[in-house]
């Protein structure tokens, strides 16, 4: 779907466990912020917005959750459930996240620092944004 991409994250594994590595050339933006969702109740609903400019890369570091994506033309649901697979979400994509497993952690690498004015939190405004 336009506006999203699943990117494999290389891992280095041996009997002591695994290392997942994200290096700058694997994602198409400079990281300006890192945040993570944790202590999320199973019935929580997150997201419910798009961004005008922000690009993000989501990784299920632990557990799993569903990401519902909508670029104004197509909709898709992606279950993120492995730390060696990340989801790139570009600007102009409406996302909703739910079905968090117990103890799940979602790491987010973001292209910009937090800016509330970059959010589109109203669905009708999102439709106008992607159609305009
Ligand atoms: P929001 O991005 O709406 O959360 P989600 O998409 O995961 O449901 O953010 C929830 C609240 O947290 C909102 O009041 C803004 C605040 N927030 C920050 O202050 N800084 C940040 O980097 C993020 C992501 C959110």
Tokens of 36: 């993570």
**Residue 46 Cβ contacting ligand 1 at under 6 Å:** yes
Using the atom order of ligand 1, give the atom closest to the CA of residue 114.
Answer: 22
Q: How far is the CA of 119 from the centre of ligand 1 (A)?
A: 10
Q: Kindly report the CA angle at 71 between 69 and 75, in degrees rounded to 5?
A: 50
Q: Give residue 132's pLDDT.
A: 80
For domain 4-131, which CATH number applies: 2.40.40.20, 3.40.50.10860, 3.30.590.20, 2.60.120.10? 2.60.120.10
Q: How far is the CA of 78 from the centre of ligand 1 (A)?
A: 21
Q: Using the predicted structure, report yes or no on whether residue 126 has a pLDDT greater than 90.
A: yes
The count of other CB atoms within 10 Å of the CB of residue 27 is 19
Which residue, 11, 29, 31, is CA-closest to 21?
A: 11
Q: How far is the CA of 37 from the centre of ligand 1 (A)?
A: 10
Q: Kindly report the CA angle at 43 between 129 and 78, in degrees rounded to 5?
A: 50
* Residue 42 annotated in active site: no
Percent with pLDDT over 90 in the chain: 99
What are the residue ranges spanned by the domains of the chain? Answer: 4-131
How many Å apart are CA 33 and CA 76, to the nearest integer? 26
Span 36-80, pLDDT tens digits: 999 999 999 999 999 999 999 999 999 999 999 999 999 999 999
Which residue in 42, 49, 51, 68 is the catalytic one? 49
How many Å apart are CA 40 and CA 74, to the nearest integer? 27
The three-class DSSP label of residue 43 is: coil
């Amino acid at each position: 779907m336009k506006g999203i991409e699943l990117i494999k994250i290389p891992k280095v594994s041996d009997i002591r466990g695994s290392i997942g590595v994200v290096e700058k050339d694997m994602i198409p933006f400079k990281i300006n912020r890192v945040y993570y969702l944790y202590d999320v109740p199973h019935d929580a609903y997150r997201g419910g917005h798009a961004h005008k400019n922000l690009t993000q890369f989501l990784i299920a570091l632990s557990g799993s959750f569903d990401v519902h994506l909508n670029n104004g033309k197509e909709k898709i649901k992606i279950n993120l459930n492995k730390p060696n697979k990340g989801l790139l979400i570009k600007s102009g994509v409406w996302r909703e996240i739910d079905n968090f497993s117990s103890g799940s952690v979602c790491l987010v690498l973001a292209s910009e620092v937090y800016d509330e004015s970059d959010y589109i939190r109203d669905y009708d405004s999102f439709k106008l944004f992607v159609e305009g």
